[in-house]
């Protein structure tokens, strides 16, 4: 199982990869007013999204605090890879 950030055109997406499956579990994008961030959920949960954060790191911390991978694999003790990956070709 891997949890990592991947570059996108306007920000980064948060990815969970396990058992030959890949799922986007969150994301951050840069806007004119700062950084917007969201952590995936299966219900209407507005507190898992925010706008106007000051930095990419603040936005990524916001997403990671929700541990969105637990929606798919349950509580596990796995760390987020610190290396941001390039977008696959």
The domains of the chain are located at 2-73
Tens place of pLDDT for every residue, the chain, 89 residues?
999 999 999 999 999 999 999 999 999 999 999 999 999 999 989 999 999 999 999 999 999 999 999 999 999 999 999 999 998 87
- The two three-digit tokens of residue 6, written as one number: 């991947």
Q: Where are the alpha helices (DSSP H) in the chain?
A: 56-64, 70-73
Q: What is the pTM of this model?
A: 0.93
- The two three-digit tokens of residue 23, written as one number: 């799922």
Instruction: Give the sign of the dihedral formed by CA 50, CA 31, CA 10, CA 59.
Output: negative
């Amino acid at each position: 199982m891997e949890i990592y950030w991947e570059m996108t055109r306007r920000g980064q997406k948060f990815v969970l990869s396990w058992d030959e499956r890949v799922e986007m579990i969150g994301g951050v994008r840069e806007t004119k007013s700062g950084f917007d961030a969201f952590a995936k959920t299966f219900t209407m949960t507005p507190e898992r999204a925010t706008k106007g954060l000051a930095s990419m790191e603040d936005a990524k911390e916001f997403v990671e605090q929700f541990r969105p991978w637990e929606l798919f694999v349950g509580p596990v003790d796995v760390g987020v890879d610190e290396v941001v990956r390039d977008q696959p070709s």
